[in-house]
Amino acid sequence: MKDDRNLEQLLQQALSPKEEPGYWLNQSILKKAKERESMGKTYKKRIPAAALMAAAVLSIGSLTAVAAWKYLTPDKVAEEVQDMGLAAAFQGEDAISINESQEYGPYKITLLGVVSGENLSKYLTSEHTGEIRRDRTYVVTAIENTDGSPRPDTSEESYGQDPFFVSPLVEGQNPSFFNAVTMSGGYSEFVQDGIQYRITETDNVEVFADRTLYLAVNSGVFYDNGAYQFDAATGEITRNEAYDGVNALFCLPLDESKADKEKADAYIRQLEAELDGTGDAADGTGSGITEENGNEEEPALQSASDESTETFYREVPDFTDWEEEDFRQHAALLEDLTQTLHVDKKGYISYTYQIEEHGVESSNTILAESLFEENQVGMSKVKQAIKGETEQEGMFVETFTRNEDGTITLKVYNYQEN
């Protein structure tokens, strides 16, 4: 993101004056926000667009019909970011195609589709604790200028000057505190044919499918409390018609049979505990929606391939406290991918690389301060892992080491379970 204001200032603006969160709540949201910022990825590929069938749209706000053959389908969007596992999920029977558009001012926002499930993506999402978030919801949106001019490419200086925040919201939960930031969210993004495509991911919201689920897209880097209205009595979330900016609000039509009240309640309790600083996550040991804090008695129904994938994820070690010596002993350094990164004037590092023989591509922009403790020199506890195309390829782990001169060394290791 290219924004001259720092995260703390943005958060202060995003929180309504009517809300008075305590110190630990502010710190927890800020910490989550910085982690989310480190998860933002931009991709710069150029591949011809695929066709998309037109669909009728619902009547929320100012809506327009979706033109046929204009947008990439969600699976093609996933292919563009080299995530074939997620692309396959968007082709599966559990994926939901939506294709609804809303226009606000000079922008048109289109919700293309959503899919949820475990281990769908090759890109492993992990907390600063090293915990892998397996059960995720992925939403694909397209953003374009209504005057027909192209959105800025990710390589252009103007990219990110009019940012958007995309997040699922849950009926009955105050969106100021329950949004993509606190739900371990992140996104991948690229621009093609003048259209800005984004895959937003968060913890799986299917457990709330017996409630109304929304997708909010508002102007800015974070959730803007002025863009929407939350009725604490009914739990309903609505647009603020007087808001000056983009405040699209879609309904996410998830399968109500996927709702799990026990897991949903456990997730809410855990998230509330994290935000007020009393839960396990306050000391870095929290977890997401799992069998342990959900319904332990319900057996998982898996195919043979699902079991293989689950076994692979279960054997992923906690890389959090690994140092260079640990990686040297247990993984292979891909020396030609080592890069020395310089922090730009806005505090970010950027890098890109390809491992063609394994079908891996990584192109990231990360807030440097989100990787390290204050004044820390040495290897960050934050590692990013990309699963190989096959179990035999293992995974590719990115490490970040801050040097005495302020530069950051990126190294990529290939880890395979012995």
pLDDT confidence bin for 47, thresholds 50/70/90: very low
pLDDT confidence bin for 240, thresholds 50/70/90: very high
What would the mean pLDDT of 345-361 be, rounded to a whole number? 82
Query: CB neighbours (10 Å) of residue 172?
Result: 17
Q: Find the range with the poorest average confidence among 183-192, 302-311, 321-330, 390-399.
A: 302-311
Is 80 in contact with 47 (CB distance < 8 Å)? yes
Bridge partners of 216, per DSSP, are 167, 249
What pLDDT does 45 receive? 31
The tokens for 26 are 């502010």
User: 228, exposed or middle or buried, with CB in 10 Å at 0-12, 13-18, 19+?
Assistant: buried
**CA-closest candidate to residue 224, choices 239, 212, 213:** 239
Q: Which amino acid is at 47?
A: I
The tokens for 386 are 């990309």
Q: Which amino acid is at 141?
A: T
- 28: three-class secondary structure by DSSP: helix
User: What is the C-alpha separation between 318 and 129, in angstroms, rounded?
Assistant: 8
Residues 6+ apart with CB under 8 A from 330: 415
Of 250 and 387, which is predicted with more confidence? 250
User: What is the C-alpha separation between 158 and 179, in angstroms, rounded?
Assistant: 27
Chain-centroid distance, C-alpha 24:
23
pLDDT tens, position by position, 6-43: 444 444 444 444 444 444 454 455 555 555 554 555 44
User: 171, exposed or middle or buried, with CB in 10 Å at 0-12, 13-18, 19+?
Assistant: middle
pLDDT tens, position by position, 69-92: 479 999 999 999 888 999 999 999
With tokens 């009240």, the residue in question is 261
User: What is the C-alpha separation between 159 and 149, in angstroms, rounded?
Assistant: 14
- 354: three-class secondary structure by DSSP: strand
User: What is the C-alpha separation between 416 and 287, in angstroms, rounded?
Assistant: 24
What pLDDT does 157 receive? 85
**Is it the case that residue 306 has pLDDT exceeding 70?**
no
Q: What's 60's DSSP letter?
A: S
Across 171-302, the runs of DSSP E, i.e. the strands, are 186-192, 195-203, 213-219, 228-230, 237-239, 247-251
Of 269 and 280, which is predicted with more confidence? 269
**CA-closest candidate to residue 85, choices 121, 136, 117, 119:** 121
Is 359 in contact with 395 (CB distance < 8 Å)? no
**CA-closest candidate to residue 238, choices 228, 247, 223, 227:** 228
Instruction: Please give the backbone phi and psi of residue 310, each rounded to the nearest 5 degrees, phi first.
Output: -65, -40
**Is it the case that residue 231 has pLDDT exceeding 90?**
yes
Bridge partners of 126, per DSSP, are 132
Domain boundaries, the chain: 7-275, 317-415
Q: What is the pTM of this model?
A: 0.63
